[in-house]
Amino acid sequence: MVYKNFIAGSWADGNDATRNINPSDTNDVIAEFARGSAEDVDRAVEAARTAFPAWSRSTPQRRHDILKRASDEVITRADELGRILSREEGKTLAEGIGEATRAGQVLGFFAGECLRTGGESIPSVRPGVGVEVTREGVGVVGLITPWNFPIAIPAWKIAPALAWGNCVVFKPADLVPHSAWMLTDILVRAGLPEGVLNLVMGRGSVVGERMVSHPGIDAVSFTGSVSTGRRIAAGCVGSQPMKKIQMEMGGKNPFVVLDDADLDVAVEAALNGAFYSTGQRCTASSRLIVTEGIHDRFIEALSQRMTALRVGNALDEATQIGPVVDQSQLDTDLEYLERGQSDGAHLFAGGGQPRVNTPGYYFAPALFTEVKSDMAIAREEIFGPIASVIRVRDYDEALAVANDTDFGLSAGIATTSLKHAADFRRNAEAGMVMVNLPTAGVDYHVPFGGRKGSSYGPREQGAYAREFYSTVKTGYTAH
């Protein structure tokens, strides 16, 4: 069976198809999925443009009801969707089910947002004039998503887009089409009119490029790597008309551990932040910045917990760390393992490829110590379960090292000092700051996003999502 694209209200064949392979067991071919062409994008944009006038003027109640139905179905089927996700992406079953549940919650939040739209009435500076500030949908939005959150990221882009009355052309990552297909199917059956949501699976170099250059797309929201983000941003700004953009990209997130930290809290947060989801999270804490007084106790305790983590098949309930997503990411992880050692860091524990019953892309979490802030393993996003410990004298040096990065997504600190916690929250150069919590793991009703090389454009999620998915109109009326 080949799973089809969804264009202009119908399931449509692609030019080509891709085989979706389970990274926990490369003998397991999940299914084939259509790969779209530039012409498929053209048809999807045309359908979305045709649907926009009616959809953007539909009642908030109608949009609410559709998103609410989809939310209920995703939550009811979270176990099944989570299993599909874990099978195609490789995160553990618990993580997959958790992500599917999160997608349902996001849909539910934005169902509510449909009913919370409103405007402002402002007295004019001129007599006899009234001013009204309102928001409208942007038009047709192109959504391009990465492989590491195959259902949550699509949900947190599609839901606000629809809530604000936009029509959507959605391109998921080529590695994880199944979750995207399931989400589309649920939304369509929830009652979306023809053309409002179009799914065009396929390659970034074909489907994604056409979306970026297409004159019928008004805005592009992208999540993925910095290099792709830069290319897409340049294309969107260079296209006619210029497109509104929102780019969520990489991270090299610091987690500071101070001498006064509760050791258990620090180890738990570092273990989760650095290694869970196989380190494949933009918010992963791959830089552990540790003051001298607690350094040796911290690395000893963390390495004990890390080496006890069970690496295995994502669908095995006992597994704590699933495989990395594909051969290319495995090669990257192995290269950085070599690079760290050749640059002079000490591989304190872990690394390498453990034996597992099924053939997959398995990599054991690795902990480097004696890392300097200028080493490649401390500067570049690896996107695997590899953490670097940088030893520092005191809080001031820790903060300076934490901010010594091109990225600025999330930053964390373990401390029992109110003074240092408050200072870090204020001065960490990141979009999200965590005190005594892992750098990864966020709420869905508050803004998500970063600074510096990590993000460009308005925040995602929560009520702040309206900044991207709506446009402001200022109306003047003479009384």
| Binding track over 171-210 against ligand NAP, x by CB under 6 A | x-xx----------------------------xxx--xx-
282 is catalytic: yes
3-state per-residue secondary structure call for the chain: CEECEEECCEEECCCEEEEEEECCEEEEEEEEEEECCHHHHHHHHHHHHHHHHHHHCCCHHHHHHHHHHHHHHHHHCHHHHHHHHHHHHCCCHHHHHHHHHHHHHHHHHHHHHHHCCCCEEEECCCCCEEEEEEEEECCEEEEECCCCCCCHHHHHHHHHHHHCCCEEEEECCCCCHHHHHHHHHHHHHCCCCCCCEEECCCCHHHHHHHHHHCCCCCEEEEECCHHHHHHHHHHHHHCCCCCEEEEECCCCCEEEECCCCCHHHHHHHHHHHHHHHHHCCCCCCCEEEEEHHHHHHHHHHHHHHHHHCCECCCCCCCCCECCCCCHHHHHHHHHHHHHHHHCCCEEEEECCCCCCCCCCCCCCCEEEECCCCCCHHHHCCCCCCEEEEEEECCHHHHHHHHHCCCCCCEEEEECCCHHHHHHHHHHCCCCEEEECCCCCCCCCCCCECCCHHHEECCCECCHHHHHHHEEEEEEEEEC
Residue 213 near ligand NAP by CB under 6 A: no
Residue 162 near ligand NAP by CB under 6 A: no
Please say which residue, 142 or 165, places its beta carbon nearer to ligand NAP.
142
* From 67, 143, 168, 282, residue interacting with ligand NAP (rule: CB under 6 A): 282
Out of 248, 268, 460, 467, pick the active-site residue.
248
Please say which residue, 249 or 375, places its beta carbon nearer to ligand NAP.
249
Please say which residue, 326 or 343, places its beta carbon nearer to ligand NAP.
326
Residue 249 near ligand NAP by CB under 6 A: yes
What is the size of the binding site for ligand NAP (CB under 6 A)? 30
Site for ligand NAP in 120-159 (CB under 6 A): 144-149
CB of 220 to ligand NAP, least distance (A): 9
CB of 272 to ligand NAP, least distance (A): 17
Using CB under 6 A, which of the segments 166-174, 306-314, 422-430, 435-443 binds ligand NAP?
166-174
167 is catalytic: no
Residue 212 near ligand NAP by CB under 6 A: yes
Cα-based distances in Å from 298 to 17, 259, 267, 290, 418: 48, 10, 7, 8, 21
Please say which residue, 301 or 377, places its beta carbon nearer to ligand NAP.
377
CB of 286 to ligand NAP, least distance (A): 10
Give the integer Cα–Cα distance in Å for 324 and 279: 9
Please say which residue, 138 or 152, places its beta carbon nearer to ligand NAP.
152
CB of 72 to ligand NAP, least distance (A): 26
Residue 256 near ligand NAP by CB under 6 A: no
CB of 85 to ligand NAP, least distance (A): 14
Within 13 A of 10's CA, how many CA atoms are on the CB side?
A: 5
Out of 282, 381, 460, 467, pick the active-site residue.
282
Give the integer Cα–Cα distance in Å for 325 and 387: 18
* From 231, 346, 445, 451, residue interacting with ligand NAP (rule: CB under 6 A): 231
CB of 231 to ligand NAP, least distance (A): 5
CB of 253 to ligand NAP, least distance (A): 10
CB of 318 to ligand NAP, least distance (A): 27
Using CB under 6 A, which of the segments 20-28, 169-177, 183-191, 344-352 binds ligand NAP?
169-177
Residue 332 near ligand NAP by CB under 6 A: no
Site for ligand NAP in 421-460 (CB under 6 A): 454
Site for ligand NAP in 394-423 (CB under 6 A): 409
Site for ligand NAP in 366-385 (CB under 6 A): 381, 383
Residue 251 near ligand NAP by CB under 6 A: yes
Binding residues for ligand NAP, rule: CB under 6 A, are 144-149, 171, 173-174, 203-205, 208-209, 212, 223-225, 228, 231-232, 248-251, 282, 381, 383, 409, 454
Point out the residues that are catalytic. 248, 282
